[in-house]
Every structure is written in structure tokens, then in C-alpha cells.
Amino acid sequence: MKNFFAEKSKNVTFLGMFALVSATSILFNSCNQKKDEKESEKMISKGHPVAKIVPQLKDDEEITDKRVIYLTFDDGPNRGTENLLKVLRKRNVCATAFLVGKHSYDSNRQKNDMELLKKDPLIELANHSFTHAHNKYSNFYKNPDAVVHDFDRAKDSLRLHDKIARTPGRNIWRLNNINVTDIKSSTLAADGLKKAGYKVIGWDLEWKPTNKMVLKGSHEAMLKKVDSIFFNDLEKTSRHLVFLTHDQYLADTDSINELDLFIEKLQKSNRFVFRKISAYPKINEVLN
């Protein structure tokens, strides 16, 4: 990846940044979880790789010239959920899982995966509807009241404490400072969710699948897209990028490895921090 950000930075020179990094060992992962030595020893004894643990960065702490990435994964619990958790634990990086209510009990495996998601401190749970629109999106968004009811049902069944949501099949944003609807026929439903108190989050970059439902393209290609978005100021909020892919695309070895390499390279570049979506700017403001 090319170091585009040094060219854009107006606040910190390259030499100053290098000195700051050297002097203070600035974190590349703001969601690292503190684990004591005994917990680490237990994981090692079970054959799990353990990433180096560093202190947690507070949400309001200065992150200098770094960009913030929010890893989000839709449609869980689903095939690939367990593989996703293994990658996150290996890299010791946090993410947000946008869950489908009915998937939490569709099969015994999904029930078990749901328990894994709830217990993992690296994962934040958010709402992706109860039915996923039965994959009939146009019909789903024709009835705004039914859409709100579907999200309420997911919130109750999943016992979610926050009203952070993502709409199925649509890249919609409804925050106080961002109002975006990709397909205009969904506008009334999106407005209804906002009126009901939901903070609707879309995405800036999606890692899409092939027709075989595995990750399409390489991690190198995705890294270039990350650079391009930041360099061209295409993110919804400056310096903050919401990344999306899906649990079900992580069922094959190649896709798992590509996601792992993607995260590893972002970490090693020392230009990014990772946060859960609840830390997105202004998301916790009361909706007007």
C-alpha cells in the first residue's frame, strides 16, 4: 500500500509522527482486550494463537494522524461465524456483528454460534432485522410500519440493548448528521426507523462475494480500496471508514486467509485504529 496519508496530513509531519510512534508506541488496535497471563496461558494450552496485548485506547483519546476502521459483518449467526471469530481473536481486533433475529435459532449450529458471539468481548452485537426481508427487499420496504416492527422483533428476540441497526439489502444511513438512502423507494421505511429511535448505519466499503459465495478478489485489492477511499475523501465521515462483509463468505480456507491478511496488513501499516460501531462519531447523540 502507498503511504497516501502523509501527503494529506496537515497536522502532523512525517518525522513528528515517526518520533511519536517510537516514543509512545501508539496503538494500532483501539479495541484490544486486556487479558491476564493466566487467560493467555489457557488459550495457548488449547492451541489458540494469541496476539500481543496492548493497553486499550480510550474513545476520546487523541489518535493523531490515524484513520479509524469499523469492521462489520452481516447476517450472523451463519456459516462462517466461527471462522470470523477465530480471525478476530488471532488478530485481537474488535468488530460489530449485525445479526438477523431468526438466524439465532434456525439450527443448532446457529444457536451455538449465537452463544459464542454473545460471550466474545471483541464482538459488539447490532440489529440487522428479524427476517432479513425474506430476501424480498422491494416488497419489504413498501410497508414502513412492518419494517419497524421487524426490527423491534429482532431487538427483543436478540435482547439488544442499543438501537443500532443496518437495513437488509440497502445501504441506508440515518444519523443526526448523515441522511443517505441508496434506493429512494426505501426512504419512508428508513425515516420510520429513525423516528422509532434506530440509528441506521450503512457502509463505505464492501468486500463482495463471487457467485460461489466466497470473498471476491484479494486482500491487496481491498487494501488499495481502503487507501483510495481515504485519499479521495469518499468516506461518510472524514477519517472514519465503515467496512462490510458477511459471515457466510468465510466458509472456505482462501476467504478466511484473505480476511486475516487484510486485517494483518492494516495493523502492520500503523496507520489505522479499529473500533466497534458504537464508537462511530455522533452515533450516540439523541436523534431529532
DSSP string, 44-76: HHTT---PPP-PPPPTTS--TT-EEEEEEEEEE
Amino acid, res. 288: N
Q: What is the pLDDT of residues 101-153, one digit of tens each?
A: 999 999 999 999 999 999 999 999 999 999 999 999 999 999 999 999 999 99
**CA distance linking residue 162 with residue 169, whole number of Å:** 21
CA separation, residue 36 to residues 33, 41, 43, 242, 273 (Å): 10, 9, 11, 31, 22
- Are 97 and 76 contacting, i.e. CB atoms less than 8 angstroms apart? yes
CA torsion, points 17, 18, 19, 22, in degrees to nearest 10? 120
Q: Are strands 164-165 and 172-174 parallel, antiparallel or unpaired?
A: unpaired
Looking at residue 211, what DSSP letter applies? T
The CATH H-level superfamily of 5-279 is Glycoside hydrolase/deacetylase (3.20.20.370)
3-state secondary structure of 172: strand
Q: Which candidate, 64, 62, 53, places its Cα nearest to that of 29?
A: 53
What pLDDT, on a 0 to 100 scale, did the predictor assign at position 287? 78
Which backbone phi and psi does 11 adopt, to 5 degrees? -105, -30
**CA distance linking residue 204 with residue 183, whole number of Å:** 16
| Predicted TM-score of the model (pTM) | 0.81
Place of cell 492451541: 47
Number of Cβ within a 10 Å radius of residue 234: 12
What pLDDT, on a 0 to 100 scale, did the predictor assign at position 65? 82
What pLDDT, on a 0 to 100 scale, did the predictor assign at position 45? 37
What pLDDT, on a 0 to 100 scale, did the predictor assign at position 237? 98
Longest Cα separation, the chain: 57
Which parts of the chain register pLDDT below 70?
1-30, 32-64, 288
